[in-house]
């Protein structure tokens, strides 16, 4: 029997800004059987989403299918006319987008959009379609399934929209559903609910699926087979179990290795006595947004009375889900958002709330590195200029002395010196993040605040950055405050971890103890929600419903 | 209606009022920069010092400028536009009929150009990159780049001088038939429409193209929606705010265009009145005409803003 | 080992690709600029000399663009008119854009009451239709070349401010500006080194568009008799002087219009055909 999907020698080319044509998919083959879920996994730029979209006969602007065939239920999507493709889309192959928040039309009610496929293809009367939609809402365990359809997209949460977008795809009983990184934008505690919902409806309906993701652990829960991609080429195809337990290709192995980085060998504090001044200390710091009220507290309180001490040479991790206030905390420490109350001490001395009121030396000692190197590096300046400015500003270095120091900095972050004449846009994501770090090092700081610095990077690249941070610490005696939503990363580098929830620090404990039975219930829930490489993890996972009700945002 | 929406709308109105205040200050200030005694000008060289002093007192000319500004503003608010220097007639009376003529011209132009411009803007966005789209883009850029009087003179040259289809001047008297009416309005309306349509087409096209580049439009495409459905159901409802804005802005160009067009076609509207007032330096008349223009402009822009706010489902 | 150090080689500045329309419009713009500078050496006849017995003369070998209402050579008058049209507009554009862009960047970076007050005030100024503004000032102050330059500059400063501020606000949200700010950098460095290099492309394009607006407004005012005053004449004034020739289809009416159109269309096309790379530097 022939497969539902047969992709043969698929090539997609893109036209660059300069008018050159580049192959971004370089001859890909794979099959999907009826009712089978195949995952496409790879880093950004590996072509996983491009391949998935060709199953709908769609390419993004500037790209086109240059060769090969994509047979879906016997029809070649590459050969079909635009009209023919239109007939297949939605009815036979359906799509669940990465960001449901952007994929819902803000001006239309949810129900109209969910049943739109049945209207376009004339599949069933409106009443029947709405009844079916409500049934799907229920199957996807959405709250108040009867009425949620009457709302507008901005009135429901991100996790709910993601499930609603699945309902939108499933309404026309397609043969194949494409999930394009559907849980990437969600918090871990929300991701589980969505993942569970997807898994159960796909299992019941026996539809085939393509699941695009960069996250091996997520894919392990839902896919039957995994296709590993890199640079527009298939590296390895195997069943989920094969890929996880016996990866053949070196790239697959690197992916798996990056998933479980070695933990930190806890540094012994230089002198184990209380007289040592902590490099950073916070005393009941609160901060927020909006015009402060009469009592000085802002209407939106993002950080609520957070205190901690960080000793020299040690690292503190701060974890929590989006909106817990961890990034605001970093910005408050750096003086970007002045605290509404509380005190910040640097090296035992209190510092001014606002950066502009701090002395150049205080500013120099505390550096911050931001998540996205794309926005943290001035695209109009060369790497040498970017690194040279803090050297001139803080240390008054000029000419040859400055050039020599720039070379040293590039060596420190393991970048070739030849890079200094380039612009940021000419560097890869990992290289940019290294430059970003080098600029902070140029100040010769005592403490670096790392705000989600590995979150935008691919797994393997992120692991290399973490290794670099460890090396730099040994060499330069730095301290880090490491902010992340990813527990694995934090555990890899930090001695202690503070868990934040809704602006408050719920607990602080040694990195290895996070999520242990003794910890705070929220920490336990958070830890339990992080997907594991074990394919049976999701099915075996039992979460305390009370905990979920108390803490999970849906 | 919720309180957030109401406060948003209230805010818009406040901004409009504040703007009107600043505008009146600038208009008053600009016409008061030059020294020179209005009383002497009005009474002529032969006037006795007593007569001049008497008039100065009557006109509050001895008061500080800021006080005179508030006298003037108070007059505007209560409907007292003052008296013309040139012919001593109440300005309200001078303006009345002229304003009506100008509004007729503007209404005719709007009725004619808005539907055509929207249709052309939307279709060229849908057919982006095609020959049709390129032709429209080139045509609009050309029209935007040339002065209004060039469009008007070229029109007169072609339709009145060479083809002799239309009169080159408008006089809104002795309109006996509908045909006559068309013949008189044709040239001014045509010229004005040309100028404002170009702006409207460009802005509408840009708004629709932006809406077509959103992820929800890609989603609709992946649901199998046809191009018409994508545009009508998904792009247009979300481009409504920017499109209304484009229409309002373009209509406000009418104000500039109307100054040239009324002059060239000798059309008895308020803009012609104002241009004539400038050559006789009839300051009170200029001030009043300027305030009327600015008021109409603000009315258009504020209306467009309010429609945009109301059409946004996130605020409903 | 650092796996990500596999440099993605992109050729640096792969030559600005510039199409035929772009080159042609550039040529027209350069020609008019040269004419404005060299006008006195180029005119075949004296601008004030009555050289034709007939008025509104047709195009001929001696008078390529005919003669005007007094029998003066139109070509000479247009060549000299370029001085006024290009010169006044350029001066006004430079003043408006320098002021607008500087204030816009400063407002975006400073924020707070400075930004709010400046924006409110300039927005209010912007809501006076430009021709009307010109009329009011001319009525109040009278028309002379310095007054024209200043008035045109004031009229177009708010637009330039708004444009630059919008771009600068986007750049200002970027982390690299925050990094510079908490390094302790001052306003001058922030707008000159961090913001300006990232908006310079669109700002240049905007300067061109504003130049077109100013040429059109100046011509319009002169056409109404409120701009450049006789005996001097810019292109708009030339149309006004000769409007009496319209019923005869005299070349003297349309020729100055075509001169304006050739300049403004060329500038607009030049901007539209600039390489994407220059236009979208802010992206």
Contact list in B for residue A121 (CB cut-off 8 A) is 224
Look at C179 and A439 and tell me if their CB atoms are within 8 Å: yes
**pLDDT value, residue A272:** 46
How far, in Å, CA of B39 to CA of B50, rounded?
Answer: 11
Residue C87 in domain: yes
Residue of A nearest to B233 (CA): A108
Q: Answer yes or no: do A288 and A168 share one domain.
A: no
Question: What average pLDDT does chain B have?
Answer: 82
Residue A540 in domain: no
DSSP A122: T
Which chains would you list as touching A if contact means 3+ CB atom pairs under 8 Å? B, C
State the nearest Cα–Cα gap between C174 and chain A, in angstroms: 5
Q: Answer yes or no: do A228 and A306 share one domain.
A: no
Residue C217 in domain: yes
pLDDT tens-digit profile, chain A (554 residues): 478 999 999 999 988 766 778 888 998 999 999 889 999 998 877 889 999 999 999 988 888 898 889 999 888 988 888 888 999 999 999 999 988 888 999 888 999 999 999 999 998 999 999 999 999 998 888 888 999 999 999 888 888 898 899 999 999 889 999 999 888 878 888 888 888 888 888 888 888 999 999 888 889 999 999 999 998 899 999 999 988 888 888 888 888 887 765 555 555 444 444 456 789 999 999 988 877 777 777 878 888 889 999 988 889 999 988 888 888 999 999 999 889 889 999 988 999 999 989 999 999 999 999 988 888 999 999 999 999 999 999 999 888 999 999 999 999 999 999 998 999 988 888 899 999 999 999 999 999 999 988 887 888 888 888 989 998 998 888 999 999 888 888 888 898 999 998 888 988 888 877 767 667 888 888 888 888 888 888 888 777 777 776 776 54
Q: Answer yes or no: do A196 and A291 share one domain.
A: no
Contact list in C for residue B27 (CB cut-off 8 A) is 128, 136
Q: Answer yes or no: do A75 and A112 share one domain.
A: yes
B23, B149, B287 member nearest C220 (Cβ): B149
**pLDDT value, residue A525:** 84
Chain C segment 5-34 residues within 8 A of A by beta carbon are 5-12, 14, 17
Residue A550 in domain: no
Q: Answer yes or no: do A310 and A284 share one domain.
A: yes
The residue segments making up the domain with residue A402 are 270-532
Inter-axis angle of helices B270-279 and B91-126, nearest 10: 120
State the nearest Cα–Cα gap between C15 and chain A, in angstroms: 9
Contact list in B for residue A120 (CB cut-off 8 A) is 223-226, 229
**pLDDT value, residue A17:** 66
Query: Given pLDDT bands bounded at 50, 70 and 90, which one contains residue B174?
Result: low
Look at C260 and B150 and tell me if their CB atoms are within 8 Å: yes
Enter the ipTM.
0.82
| Bridge partners (DSSP) listed for residue B207 | none
Domain count, chain C: 1
Residue C199 in domain: yes
Q: Answer yes or no: do A416 and A461 share one domain.
A: yes
How far, in Å, CA of A275 to CA of A151, rounded?
Answer: 59
Residue C283 in domain: no
% chain C with pLDDT above 70: 90
**Count of CA atoms in the C-beta half-sphere (13 A) of B261:** 30
Q: Answer yes or no: do A230 and A331 share one domain.
A: no
Q: CATH no. for residue C267?
A: 1.10.3720.10
The residue segments making up the domain with residue C200 are 18-45+65-277
Please check the confidence at residue C12 and state whether its pLDDT lies above 70.
no
State the nearest Cα–Cα gap between A105 and chain B, in angstroms: 5
Residue C3 in domain: no
Closest CA to A94 of B214, B225, B211, B236: B225
A18, A334, A380 member nearest C14 (Cβ): A18
Q: Answer yes or no: do A301 and A203 share one domain.
A: no
Flag whether residue A40 sits within 8 Å of chain C, measured between CB atoms. no
Residue of A nearest to C195 (CA): A378
Residue A156 in domain: yes
What does the H/E/C string look like for chain B?
CCHHHHHHHHHHHHHHHHHHHHHHHHHHHHCCCCCCCHHHHHHCCCCCHHHHHHHHHHCCCCCCHHHHHHHHHHHHHCCCCCECCCCCCEHHHHHHHHHHHHHHHHHHHHHHHHHHHHHHHHHHHHCCCCHHHHHHHHHHHHHHHCCHHHHHHHHHHHHHHHCCCCCCCCCCCCCCCHHHHHHHHHHHHHHHHHHHHHHHHHHHHHHHHHHHCCHHHHHHHHCCCCHHHHHHHHHHHHHHHHHHHHHHHHHHHHHHHHHHHHHHCCCCCHHHHHHHHHHCCCHHHHHHHHHHHHHHHHHHHHHHHHHHHHCCCCCC
Residue A537 in domain: no
State the nearest Cα–Cα gap between C189 and chain A, in angstroms: 11
Contact list in B for residue C127 (CB cut-off 8 A) is 19, 23, 294, 297-298, 301
Q: Is C116 helix (H, G, I), strand (E, B) or coil?
A: helix
Contact list in B for residue C125 (CB cut-off 8 A) is 22-23, 26
Flag whether residue C186 sits within 8 Å of chain A, measured between CB atoms. no
Q: CATH no. for residue A176?
A: 3.40.50.300
Residue A328 in domain: yes
Domain count, chain A: 2
Residue C177 in domain: yes
Q: What does the pLDDT look like over B279-306, one tens digit per residue?
A: 887 888 888 888 888 888 888 888 888 8
End of a domain among A259, A294, A328? A259
Contact list in B for residue A105 (CB cut-off 8 A) is 216, 219-220, 233-234, 237-238
| pTM, full prediction | 0.84
State the nearest Cα–Cα gap between A125 and chain C, in angstroms: 46
């Amino acid at each position: 029997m022939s497969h539902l999907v047969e992709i043969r020698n698929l090539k997609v080319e893109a036209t660059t800004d300069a008018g050159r044509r580049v192959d971004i998919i370089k001859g890909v083959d794979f099959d999907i059987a009826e009712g089978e879920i195949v995952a496409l996994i790879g880093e950004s730029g590996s072509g996983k989403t491009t391949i998935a979209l060709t199953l709908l006969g769609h390419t993004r602007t500037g790209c086109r299918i240059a060769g090969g065939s994509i047979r879906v239920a016997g029809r070649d999507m590459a050969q079909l006319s635009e009209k023919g493709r239109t007939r297949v889309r939605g009815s036979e192959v359906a799509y669940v987008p990465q960001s449901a928040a952007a994929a819902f039309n803000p001006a239309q009610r949810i129900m109209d959009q969910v049943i739109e496929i049945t209207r376009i293809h004339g599949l069933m009367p409106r009443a029947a379609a709405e009844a079916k939609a409500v049934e799907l809402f229920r199957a996807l365990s959405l709250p108040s399934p009867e009425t949620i359809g009457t709302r507008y997209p901005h009135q429901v949460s991100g996790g709910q929209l993601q499930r609603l977008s699945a309902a939108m795809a499933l309404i026309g009983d397609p043969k194949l559903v494409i999930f394009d990184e559907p849980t990437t934008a969600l918090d871990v505690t929300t991701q589980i609910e969505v993942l569970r919902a997807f898994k159960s409806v796909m299992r019941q309906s026996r539809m085939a699926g393509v699941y695009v993701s960069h996250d091996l652990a997520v894919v392990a829960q839902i896919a039957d087979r995994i296709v590993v991609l890199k640079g527009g080429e298939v590296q390895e195809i195997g069943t989920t179990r094969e890929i996880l337990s016996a990866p053949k290709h070196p790239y697959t192995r690197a992916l798996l290795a990056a998933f479980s980085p070695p933990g930190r060998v806890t540094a012994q504090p230089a002198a184990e006595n209380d007289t040592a001044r902590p490099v950073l200390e916070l005393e009941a710091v609160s901060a927020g947004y909006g015009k402060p009220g009469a009592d000085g507290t802002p209407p939106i309180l993002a950080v609520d009375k957070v205190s901690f001490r960080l000793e020299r040479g040690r690292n503190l991790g701060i974890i929590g889900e989006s909106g817990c206030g961890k990034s605001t905390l970093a910005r408050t420490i750096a003086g970007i958002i002045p605290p509404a109350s509380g005190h910040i001490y640097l090296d035992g001395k209190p510092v001014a709330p606002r950066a502009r009121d701090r002395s150049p030396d205080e500013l120099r000692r505390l550096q911050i590195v931001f998540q996205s190197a794309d926005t943290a590096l001035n695209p109009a300046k060369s790497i040498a200029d970017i690194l040279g400015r803090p050297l001139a500003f803080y240390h008054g270095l000029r000419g040859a002395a400055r050039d020599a120091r720039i070379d040293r900095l590039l060596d420190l972050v393991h970048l070739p010196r030849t890079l200094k004449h380039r612009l940021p846009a000419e560097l890869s994501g990992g290289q940019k993040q290294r430059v970003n770090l080098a600029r902070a090092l140029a100040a010769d700081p005592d403490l670096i605040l790392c705000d989600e610095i590995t979150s935008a990077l691919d797994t393997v690249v992120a692991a290399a950055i973490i290794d670099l941070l460890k090396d730099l610490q040994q060499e330069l005696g730095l301290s880090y405050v490491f902010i992340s939503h990813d527990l694995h990363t934090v555990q890899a580098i930090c001695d202690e971890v503070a868990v934040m929830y809704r602006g408050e620090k719920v607990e602080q404990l040694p990195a290895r103890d996070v999520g242990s039975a003794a910890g705070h219930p929220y920490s336990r829930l958070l830890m339990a929600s992080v997907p594991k490489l074990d394919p049976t993890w999701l099915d075996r996972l039992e979460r305390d419903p009370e905990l979920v009700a108390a803490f999970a945002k849906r | 209606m919720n309180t957030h929406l109401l406060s948003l709308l209230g805010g818009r109105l406040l901004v409009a009022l504040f703007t009107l205040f600043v505008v009146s200050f600038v208009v008053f200030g600009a016409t008061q920069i030059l020294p020179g005694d209005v009383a002497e000008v009005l009474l002529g060289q032969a006037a006795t010092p007593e007569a001049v002093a008497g008039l100065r007192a009557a006109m509050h000319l001895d008061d500080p400028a800021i006080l005179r500004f508030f006298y003037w503003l108070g007059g505007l608010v209560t409907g007292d536009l003052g008296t013309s220097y040139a012919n001593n007639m109440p300005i309200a009376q001078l303006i009345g009929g002229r304003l009506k003529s100008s509004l007729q011209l503007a209404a005719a132009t709007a009725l004619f150009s808005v539907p055509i411009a929207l249709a052309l803007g939307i279709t060229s966005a849908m057919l982006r990159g095609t020959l049709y789209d390129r032709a429209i883009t080139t045509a609009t850029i050309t029209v935007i780049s040339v002065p209004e009087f060039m469009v008007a003179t070229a029109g007169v040259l072609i339709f009145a001088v060479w083809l002799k289809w239309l009169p080159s001047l408008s006089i809104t008297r002795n309109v006996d038939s509908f045909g006559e009416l068309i013949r008189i309005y044709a040239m001014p309306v045509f010229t004005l429409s040309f100028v404002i349509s170009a702006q409207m087409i460009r802005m509408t096209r840009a708004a629709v193209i932006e809406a077509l580049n959103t992820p929800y439009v890609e989603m609709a495409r992946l649901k199998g929606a046809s191009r018409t459905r994508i545009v009508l159901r998904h792009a247009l409802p979300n481009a409504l705010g920017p499109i209304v804005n484009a229409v309002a802005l373009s209509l406000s160009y009418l104000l500039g265009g109307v100054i040239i067009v009324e002059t060239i076609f000798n059309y008895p509207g308020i803009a012609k009145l104002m241009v004539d007032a400038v050559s006789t330096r009839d300051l009170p008349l200029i001030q009043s005409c300027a305030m009327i223009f600015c008021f109409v402009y603000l009315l258009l822009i504020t209306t467009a803003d309010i429609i945009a706010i109301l059409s946004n489902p996130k605020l409903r | 080992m650092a796996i990500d150090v596999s440099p993605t080689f992109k050729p640096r500045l792969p030559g600005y690709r510039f199409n035929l329309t772009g080159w042609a419009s550039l040529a027209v713009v350069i020609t008019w600029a040269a004419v404005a500078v060299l006008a006195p050496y180029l005119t075949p006849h004296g601008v004030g000399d009555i050289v034709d017995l007939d008025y509104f003369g047709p195009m001929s070998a001696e008078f390529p663009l005919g003669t005007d209402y007094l029998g003066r050579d139109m070509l000479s008058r247009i060549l000299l008119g370029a001085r006024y049209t290009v010169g006044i507009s350029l001066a006004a554009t430079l003043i408006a854009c320098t002021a607008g862009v500087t204030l816009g960047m400063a407002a975006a970076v400073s924020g707070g009451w400075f930004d709010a007050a400046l924006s409110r005030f300039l927005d209010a100024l912007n809501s006076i239709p430009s021709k009307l503004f010109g009329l009011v000032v001319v009525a109040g102050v009278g028309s002379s070349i310095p007054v024209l330059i200043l008035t045109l500059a004031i009229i177009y400063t708010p637009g330039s401010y708004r444009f630059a501020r919008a771009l600068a606000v986007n750049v200002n949200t970027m982390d690299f500006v925050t990094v510079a700010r908490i390094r302790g950098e001052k306003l001058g460095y922030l707008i000159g080194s961090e913001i300006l290099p990232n908006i310079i492309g669109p700002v240049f394009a905007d300067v061109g568009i504003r130049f077109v607006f100013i040429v059109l407004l100046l011509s319009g005012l002169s056409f109404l008799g409120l701009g450049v005053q006789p005996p001097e004449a810019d292109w708009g004034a030339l149309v006004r002087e000769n409007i009496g020739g319209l019923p005869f289809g005299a070349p003297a009416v349309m020729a100055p219009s075509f001169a304006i159109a050739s300049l403004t269309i060329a500038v607009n096309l030049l901007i539209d055909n600039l390489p994407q790379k220059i236009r979208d530097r802010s992206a």
